[in-house]
Structure formats: C-alpha cells, structure tokens
Amino acid sequence: MSIAEGYADFAGDRNRQLRESVVASLPTEFGRGCVLEHQSRTATIADHRVFGPPQSGHLNARRTHHFDIAREIAQKLELNYVFGHEFQELTQDTRHSPAYHGQATLSRWPLSNARILRFQHQSNFWQPHWFLPEIEPFPERLGGRLALIVDASVGGKMIVTYNLHLESRGDNRLRRAQLEETLKDAQRYKANTAVVLAGDFNMDLSAGDVAKAIRSADFQDAFTNQHAPTTPNSVFTEGRVIDWIFWRGSVGSETPQVHHSVLASDHYPLSVELDFR
C-alpha cells in the first residue's frame, strides 16, 4: 500500500500583511456535501489564512461518492493543499481504485517540505480481523494515525505546521504517547522557528502531565483561559474541549475563537491570529 502526500499549487505566492490565522479541525469527517453546503461560511473564516481543514477527509471513498475531498475544498476556495494518507479504507474502495482516509492542510500561502510523522504508538482497533466481513459497517483499515507536517511561506517568513489527529480509540496514555512523539519531532527546529501544532487531540490538554510536557517543549496554548467546547452537545454528553492550537518561536497569538455557528460536522472550527515577532 502506498501512503504518501498529495500536493497541488492553486493559489501561488501572494503579497499580504504578516498577520495570519491558523484554523484547525474544520471538521472531522468533512464530506463533499459539507463543502457545498457550508462553503460560504468556510470561505469567510478561511480568507487569507494559513489553514488546516479538514482534520479528516476522504479520497475515493464510497461514503463521499468517490470524490477527492481535500482537492474539492482547495479548488472551491482557491487554496494550496497537502493531503496525507492516514488509512487505506478497505470497506470504502472499489475493485480498481483504493480509498483513503487522511488529513489535509490548506493555505492561501505557498506550501512546501510536506512530510508525514506516522506514530509508532497505534491502536489495533482499525486493523483487519479475520472474523469481520469487509463491508461498510465494519471500518477495517490499513495504516495508522499521523501528524502531517508542512512549511507555509507567509510573506517570506516560514511557519512549520503540524496537523494532528490523535487516536480516537484507546485511552489517554496512547494519545499522550503520540503527542510526545510529535513534541520530540519538533525539537529538530531551532527555538526561534515559528511552529504551530493544531488539530483534533481527542483529549483535554489543559492540566496534568500532558500540559506540563507541552510547556516543557516551549509551546504556548493559543486559547489560554478562553476555552470553549469544540464539539457539540449530544443526547448523552456535553460538548468537550478536544481541539487545540499551540505555538512556539517567533510568533505570538491573539483573538482565539471557536466558531460555533459553523455546523458542518462533529467538531467546530477554531481560529487564532498569529503575529510574527
């Protein structure tokens, strides 16, 4: 199975002010219907921003009518994009063409140096099992959770973006191990390099050992003391704060916001303005 990055340059270089936003988690399972139904609201949020939706998207999956969802969004909004193959969907493909589930980073600014950090720590929940039929109710997959890492050139200044989707199955020990792999990978960049971690972390990062690990790696929480639920309420549970944006290096942040008016899926978008120092 080939798992690689996809890339297309739609927007090219643009001369804009050096104040940008990063938008994460817009949203999990962002399908083509959501692109068409919510593109006007999304475009308003996305205008001239470094921008990371969808947190999860599909390529050639039956459930999204075999469209390339990341490319659809990029074309609609005239964005550059990179798509990382997280899983091959064994119950969503056709006989002649595989289907993929993955993450995309989109931006009006040029993107480069895309790579995947596939976590060493994974859940075996998604792996094929001999006793399960290969039909849609049983989501069997090949691959594993990852961080999609891309450089964005913003008016000649570089931001390294980590687009994360930590495991939804398993417990917080597994998610913490995946986050620690990410923090270790980010050590390769100099202390003054602008680095952003954003995405669906599937856990509360506001306290405890995991918050201490993030601070020890010099990352700042863009939503400090201003957190709001990033998932809607359901019949059985209240909304949770599980989507996050962190930064370090030669940037600062302001105006954090959870966009509760964008009801495209099971997560709300987040945005924050980043200023180069």
Q: In whole angstroms, what is the distance from residue 83 CA to residue 105 CA?
A: 7
247 or 108: whose pLDDT is higher? 247
Give yes or no for a contact between 59 and 85, defined as CB atoms under 8 angstroms apart.
yes
Range with the lowest mean pLDDT among 23-32, 80-89, 221-230? 23-32
235-245: pLDDT as tens digits: 888 889 889 99
From the list 8, 1, 53, 6, the residue with the least C-alpha distance to 31 is 53
φ, ψ at 98 (rounded to 5°): -75, 160
- Provide the pLDDT confidence category of residue 34 given band limits of 50, 70 and 90: very low
CATH number, domain of 50, equals: 3.60.10.10
> Can you give the pLDDT at residue 13?
35
Q: Which two tokens stand for residue 166?
A: 């930590």
Q: In whole angstroms, what is the distance from residue 1 CA to residue 88 CA?
A: 8
pLDDT value at 9 more than 70: no
| Rounded average pLDDT over 204-209 | 92
Residue 108, in any domain of the structure: yes
Residue 2, in any domain of the structure: no
Residue 7, in any domain of the structure: no
Domain limits at 203?
13-276
134 or 107: whose pLDDT is higher? 107
- What is the number of other CB atoms lying within 10 angstroms of the CB of residue 98? 17
Residue 5, in any domain of the structure: no
Q: In whole angstroms, what is the distance from residue 220 CA to residue 48 CA?
A: 23
Q: Which two tokens stand for residue 127?
A: 């792996």
Domains: count for the chain: 1
From the list 18, 85, 25, the residue with the least C-alpha distance to 273 is 18
- What is the number of other CB atoms lying within 10 angstroms of the CB of residue 196? 27
Q: Which two tokens stand for residue 264?
A: 């495209």
134-158: pLDDT as tens digits: 666 666 766 688 999 999 998 888 9
pTM over 0.85: no
Residue 3, in any domain of the structure: no
Is the torsion defined by CA of 153, 154, 156, 162 positive or negative? negative
Residue 6, in any domain of the structure: no
From the list 173, 241, 248, the residue with the least C-alpha distance to 216 is 248
68 or 66: whose pLDDT is higher? 68
Strongest mean pLDDT among 118-127, 175-184, 229-238: 175-184
The 3-state secondary structure of 123-164 reads CCCCCCCCCCCCCCCCCCEEECCEEEEEEEEECCEEEEEEEE
Which amino acid is present at 267? H
